[in-house]
Every structure is written in C-alpha cells, then in structure tokens.
Amino acid sequence: MYVAELVNQGKKMHQEFIDIIRNKLSELGAINVDSYIRKLEDNRNDNLQFDDLKCEDYAALLFLHHGFSVEMRDSPDLRLFLDNNEFYAEVKHFRFKDQDRIDQEKMEAIKGMLTNIGETKKDPWDQIVDTAIEKVNQFIDGKPNILVIASSSPHCIDDSIVQTAINKVEELTTEQKYPGIEKLNGVLFLSTDFNISQRRDVYFYRIESAVIPISTIVLERFNQINGWHFLVKTYFGL
C-alpha cells in the first residue's frame, strides 16, 4: 500500500508540473507547447525521463525570460530566435547519481579537509565531450547550435570543467576527427551552485572554431543570463 501511495503521489506531482508548465509556456509565447506536453504526459510514470524532460522546460523559460522566441521541438529540443537571429539548442541533463550522495557524505565527514571524490570511469570533461559527439546528428546544418547542460550532479560538473571540455571540442574541430562537431557553437551551463563573486549560476562557453558563427547580439544576451534557480522557483511559486 505504501509503495502504491508513493507512486500515486508522484503521478500527482507530475501532473501538477504539467499543468503549470503548459500555462506558463503558453503565457510567455512559446510555440508548439502541446507537442512538449505530450512528451511529458507520455513519460509521467518514468521519474528519470520526466526529470530529463523538465530541463527542456527550464531552458525554455530561461530563454523566454530573456527575450528569445522559443519553439519546443525534437532533435534538437529548442528552436530559438533573437532579433531575426535563428539558432538551435539541444538540452542535456546530468543526473544526480549515487556517487554524488557518497561524495557528499565523504565531504561532510571530513569537515573541510581534502578528500578524493568521484568514481566515474571517465573524467567529467570527457563526459561533456562525449555528449557533444553523441549529439552531432541533431545539430542543424547552416545554423548555429548550442548545448544546454543542466546539472543535478554537484560534484561531477562545474564551470571550470566545462571550459576544459570546450578546449577539447576546439581541438576536435581543428583536427576534423568527428565530422559535424564543427556545427557546435558552445555550451550554456546551468549549474547547481550559485557563484557569489560572479553572481551567477549560468555560464556560456563559446566554441570559436564553429563553422557558422553565432551573432554578437545573441552572445551579448547570453552574457546577461546569470541565474536560473531563482527564475524557476519564481515561476513555480517555490
């Protein structure tokens, strides 16, 4: 009975999210909202997949809030416009893993002393590079493309790690090892941590070697996007 109650509670929470986001995306002028809502409804019983899809909404809200026009779609996830500048975004969610819980417990136990964390087989920057390579077939020819990475894994991905990944992608583009990687213009990173000194938890990392340049207007607007946690909490009344 207890398990059944938890399942029903989860379904109710998912439906509440769906209802809120349907209204919010439509209110802010997003296009093709019904298609995105169908994806949520089809995955409401799969908590992991549902959480991945929620990140598409968070990215869409972030862009809408900063003056972009947004179309919800598949492969890539978002079509975006700013002052007639068109580009595309694929959203990737780095999930919170069991290792994150272990790392958190280790850090709390040693109370500020240094300790090794993370037991993944690949370095975190290589995980980002692998994601970029995996998404190559989803990048649109002749248009700028970006990856939006939303991290729920506080000890795996941070802003310095993303920069290392960008440097590696630059090398791959120059070496022409992975055809299509040159279509990627950069990564918009949504961090779990708010950087007090920089006053932001959103960072854009540009790939200079991209074959189609991204407009200066779009880059300047990216620089103005500095927070996503507070925005999401505001929209969802948290």
pTM: 0.85
Task: Note every long-range contact of 103-110, with CB atoms under 8 Å and residues 24 or more positions apart, other chains counting.
Answer: 103/155, 104/154, 104/155
Interatomic CA distance for residues 122 and 133, integer angstroms? 15
Q: Is 115 helix (H, G, I), strand (E, B) or coil?
A: coil
Task: Report, as an integer, the average pLDDT of 116-144.
Answer: 85
Fold adopted by 2-235:
Trna Endonuclease; Chain: A, domain 1 (3.40.1350)
Taking alpha carbons only, the member of 21, 150, 158, 155 closest to residue 97 is 155
- Does the pLDDT of residue 176 top 80, yes or no? yes
Q: Is the pLDDT of residue 137 over 70?
A: yes
Q: What are phi and psi of 142, to 5 degrees?
A: 80, 5
Tell me, what's the pLDDT at 10? 55
pLDDT tens digits, 153-165: 665 667 778 999 9
- Within 13 A of 218's CA, how many CA atoms are on the CB side? 26
Please compute the mean of the pLDDT values over residues 209-221 and round it to a whole number: 97
pLDDT band at 121 (very low <50, low <70, confident <90, very high): low
Strands 69-72, 145-151: parallel, antiparallel or unpaired by DSSP? unpaired
Q: Categorize the per-residue pLDDT at 110 as very low, low, confident or very high, splitting at 50, 70 and 90.
A: very low
Residue-wise burial string across 168-198, b where 16 or more C-beta atoms lie within 10 A, e elsewhere:
bbbebbeeeeeebbbbbbbbbbbbbeeeeee
